[in-house]
């Protein structure tokens, strides 16, 4: 370790990680503490420009204990999930040397050096937008970099998995598969990239944030209860999912949107069906979620082939995947017709890649007010519009995996104190 004089150094790394949305769902663990799933799952990584976690990790001989701040508020690191990630990463650390700054950390030093961690989500926590996935992916990715861990991303993903199962899928961009694996140690329960974000770059994703209240049943408790009580889940993971995984891999390989959409919608619905089959039943979708599904189904039916896929995680928010940019414009027009902004302005109602809004001819509120009912509504006119049922929309697309931010201005910890700035 560095000598007494240089005790004040702080070594710091900042990373940014995406969230992801499963299109073949993970629901149910075969090992609770290692977080090993009962079935494979497949996800799309969302563009971190619009939805991401930023995490700064710092190490210093002056730190007295491991500490963490989430969205500016200090939280406990005592939980098993954090401890597992920290232990696994520390055990894989390598030596670090920076002669200019006079820092020298031997492999065995990492066990005794304390960490400060600051993490920030640019979207609501625990509202079904996979904040823990982005969070643990970012934590493990940043720590791996700080501690000079030499293992590949697959092994890193197995560590992130022990923080939050779906976090392992956020270690890659594009289209990602999480293999359930066979080994009881969990070392083959890792994520792998099926295709990068550039493979299928037509897709556009619009998220309808239906509610940002904290959800009632955590996904950890929910999936435990489903494994214990749902008879349908047994059939799902043994008989239904394995076939869907193969079909989904092929659909992604071939950029076959029709199959992709069919499987995505069916698997989302089946996941929520299993939640309902749980005792006591779990409801993540609400009337607004149901309404969005009905509108999308009607549109797809009118067009003959799917224009949009929908999927819902453990919350009421809809993730809508449009076939291409043109379709996304038509989708946004429909969404703003059905769910007009409750206030007088659009800028806080449609977030992310707002160029879609402009290309769809929706510059101002008067453009939204002038929207005509979509043709699939047919005889259901006059139609009741639902202002206020959606909090806001986020326009995004499939995106890249985690990255290190070299710009020191993006660090969340003060470089001199190691405390959030």
Residues that bind its own copies (CB under 8 A): 216, 231-232, 235-236, 239-240, 262, 265-266, 269-270, 272-274, 276-281, 283, 286-287, 290, 293-294, 297, 301
Residue closer to its own copies (CB basis): 231 or 417: 231
Residue closer to its own copies (CB basis): 202 or 225: 225
CB 400 within 8 A of CB 18: yes
d(CA 101, CA 7): 11
Residue closer to its own copies (CB basis): 16 or 291: 291
Shortest Å, Cβ 129 to its own copies: 21
100 CB contacts (<8 Å, ≥6 apart)?
none
From 133, 149, 99, 98, select the one nearest 219 (Cα to Cα): 133
Residue closer to its own copies (CB basis): 235 or 383: 235
Shortest Å, Cβ 71 to its own copies: 24
Residue closer to its own copies (CB basis): 65 or 304: 304
154 CB contacts (<8 Å, ≥6 apart)?
190, 191, 192
From 110, 114, 167, select the one nearest 139 (Cα to Cα): 167
Shortest Å, Cβ 302 to its own copies: 12
Residue closer to its own copies (CB basis): 170 or 219: 219
Tokens encoding 129:
């937008």
H-assigned helices in 66-189: 80-91, 131-146, 153-161
Tokens encoding 241:
């999912």
β-bridge partners, 204: 322
d(CA 321, CA 50): 15
CB 85 within 8 A of CB 162: yes
Tokens encoding 99:
């002669």
Tokens encoding 401:
């995996």
User: Rounded to the nearest 5°, which phi and psi values hold at 166?
Assistant: -70, -10
Query: What's the chain's Rg over C-alpha atoms?
Result: 22
Residue closer to its own copies (CB basis): 18 or 306: 306
């Amino acid at each position: 370790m560095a000598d007494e004089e240089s005790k004040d150094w702080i070594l710091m790394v900042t990373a940014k990680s995406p969230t992801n949305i499963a299109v073949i769902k993970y629901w149910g663990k075969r090992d609770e503490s290692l977080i090993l799933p009962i079935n494979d799952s497949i996800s799309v990584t969302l563009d971190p420009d619009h939805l991401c976690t930023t995490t700064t990790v710092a190490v210093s001989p002056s730190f007295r204990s491991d500490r963490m701040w989430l969205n500016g508020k200090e939280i406990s690191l005592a939980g098993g999930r954090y401890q597992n990630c920290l232990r696994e990463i520390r055990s894989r650390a390598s030596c670090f040397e920076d002669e200019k700054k006079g820092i020298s950390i031997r492999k065995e030093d990492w066990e005794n050096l304390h960490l400060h961690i600051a993490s920030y989500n640019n979207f609501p926590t625990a509202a079904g937008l996979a904040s823990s996935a982005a969070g643990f992916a970012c934590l493990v990715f940043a720590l791996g970099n700080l501690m000079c861990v030499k293992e590949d991303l697959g092994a890193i993903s197995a560590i992130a998995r022990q923080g939050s199962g779906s976090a392992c899928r956020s270690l890659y961009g594009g289209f990602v598969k999480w293999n359930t694996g066979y080994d009881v140690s969990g070392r083959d329960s890792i994520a792998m990239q099926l295709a990068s974000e550039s493979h299928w770059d037509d897709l556009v994703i619009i998220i309808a944030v239906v509610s940002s209240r904290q959800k009632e049943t955590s996904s950890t408790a929910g999936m435990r209860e489903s494994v214990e009580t749902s008879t349908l889940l047994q059939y799902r993971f043994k008989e239904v999912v394995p076939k869907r995984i193969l079909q989904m891999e092929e659909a992604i390989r071939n950029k076959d949107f029709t199959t992709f959409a069919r499987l995505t919608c069916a698997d989302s619905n089946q996941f929520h069906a299993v939640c309902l089959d749980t005792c006591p039943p779990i409801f993540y979708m609400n009337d607004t979620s149901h309404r969005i599904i009905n509108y999308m189904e009607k549109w797809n039916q009118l067009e003959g082939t799917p224009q949009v896929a929908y999927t819902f995680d453990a919350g009421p928010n809809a993730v809508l995947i449009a076939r291409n940019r043109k379709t996304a414009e038509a989708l946004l027009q429909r969404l703003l017709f059905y769910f007009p902004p409750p206030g007088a302005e659009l800028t806080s109602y449609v977030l992310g890649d707002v160029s879609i809004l402009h290309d769809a001819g929706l510059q101002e509120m008067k453009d939204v007010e002038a929207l005509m009912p979509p043709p699939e509504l047919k005889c259901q006119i006059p139609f009741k519009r639902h202002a206020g049922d959606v909090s806001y929309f986020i326009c995004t697309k499939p995106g890249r995996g985690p990255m290190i931010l070299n710009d020191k201005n993006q660090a969340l910890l003060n470089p001199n104190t190691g405390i959030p700035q």
